[in-house]
Chains A and B, each alone.
Chain A
Amino acid sequence: MHMDAFQTLADRTRRQIVETLKRGEQQVNDIVAALDIHQSGVSRHLHILLDAGFVRVRPEGQLRLYSLRAEPFREMEAWLTGYHALWESRLDRFDAALERKLATRTAQRNRKEKKA
């Protein structure tokens, strides 16, 4: 999922559509007006966002209203949090290695001073 999710949002226009939909449910014309992009372009990108599960659509009379779905964003966040944890623990080991390095040097210096 993750590779596809990030790939979906790699496109600038799709990110702009997501930004626009953050304000709430909108129809295509509103998105077109907000982004100043031709309707066919917006429709194409909306389809990709729909397919990837980022966006949902519901009919209301003649209108089709688009809005964001929270699930893929939550999944992306969970994935990134997990990755962050991996690097945090790697840097914890870095901290420990540095402490050992500095402690060894202090011990060596103390031994030299004692000899002197």
Chain B
Amino acid sequence: MTPPPAQASPKITLERSYTANAQDLWELWTTKEGFESWWGPEGFRVEVRKLDLRIGGELHYDMIADAPEQIAAMKSMNMPTSHSVRARFSEITPLKRLEITHIIDFVPGAQAYENRSRVEFFQEGRTVRMVVTVDPHHDPEWTQRASMGWESQLRKLPAALAARG
């Protein structure tokens, strides 16, 4: 599997607004405690080994299956229940903009490549609008899921939701 050139990828943008200050949101993205409190996918927890918040600084964490069904699923696929993920901070404008570049080096047969996720915060009165821009093709979690065969499950999700009305 060879990743396509960057321009081949559709970017996805997600937006949410919070009645909170930008500092609180910023900390959830840029501190060990904050990042660990939400980043890991369902059934996994994240343990940050290194978080060096400066341009080019390393973000290194372990993604650890911790729900019994996830542990069982990983074992049944002969996959380790924990894997190491490496990234670096490629852009930092405190309280305004952060870019994390993940290094995807776990796809068998593919050369290591990079994925950038960007988050921006816009103060609007008493609320902060958070805008996340991501590239699905190169996303580490998505890639991991695809390599574990979860993609087909996820693709069924929209239909399943529609069926529930």
Chain A positions near chain B (C-beta within 8 angstroms) = 2-3, 6-7, 9-10, 78-91, 93-98, 100-102
Q: How many A-B residue pairs have CB under 8 A?
A: 91
Q: Which residues of A contact B136 (CB under 8 A)?
A: 79-80, 83
Min Cβ gap A77→B in Å is 9
Q: What are 15 residue pairs bridging A and B, where the CB atoms are less than 8 Å apart in the complex?
A: A3-B3, A6-B8, A10-B5, A78-B158, A81-B158, A82-B154, A82-B157, A84-B14, A85-B157, A85-B158, A86-B145, A87-B12, A95-B16, A97-B34, A98-B20
Q: Which residues of A contact B9 (CB under 8 A)?
A: 6
Min Cβ gap B86→A in Å is 19
Min Cβ gap B153→A in Å is 9
Interface class of chain A by DSSP: helix
Q: How does the 8 Å CB contact mask read for B121-157 relative to A, with 1 for contact and 0 for none?
A: 0000000000010101101011001000001001101
Min Cβ gap A101→B in Å is 6
Stretch in B37-45, B54-62, B70-78, B88-96 touching the partner = B37-45
Is B51 among interface residues, defined by CB-CB distance under 8 A? Answer: no
Q: Which residues of A contact B53 (CB under 8 A)?
A: none
In chain A, what residue has the closest Cβ to B154?
A82
Partner of B134, one of A87, A100, A101: A87
Bound state CA distance, A6 and B7, in angstroms?
A: 9
Bound state CA distance, A82 and B139, in angstroms?
A: 13
Min Cβ gap B91→A in Å is 19
Is B10 among interface residues, defined by CB-CB distance under 8 A? Answer: yes
Is B103 among interface residues, defined by CB-CB distance under 8 A? Answer: no
In chain B, what residue has the closest Cβ to A2?
B137
Q: Which residues of B contact A82 (CB under 8 A)?
A: 151, 154-155, 157-158
Min Cβ gap B42→A in Å is 7
A88, B14: Cβ atoms closer than 8 Å: yes
Q: Which residues of A contact B154 (CB under 8 A)?
A: 82-83, 85-86
Min Cβ gap A11→B in Å is 9
Q: Which residues of B contact A96 (CB under 8 A)?
A: 38
Bound state CA distance, A87 and B28, in angstroms?
A: 16
Q: Which residues of B contact A100 (CB under 8 A)?
A: 37
Is B25 among interface residues, defined by CB-CB distance under 8 A? Answer: yes
Further pairs besides A83-B136, A83-B139, A87-B134: 5, Cβ < 8 Å: A10-B4, A83-B154, A84-B12, A87-B14, A93-B39
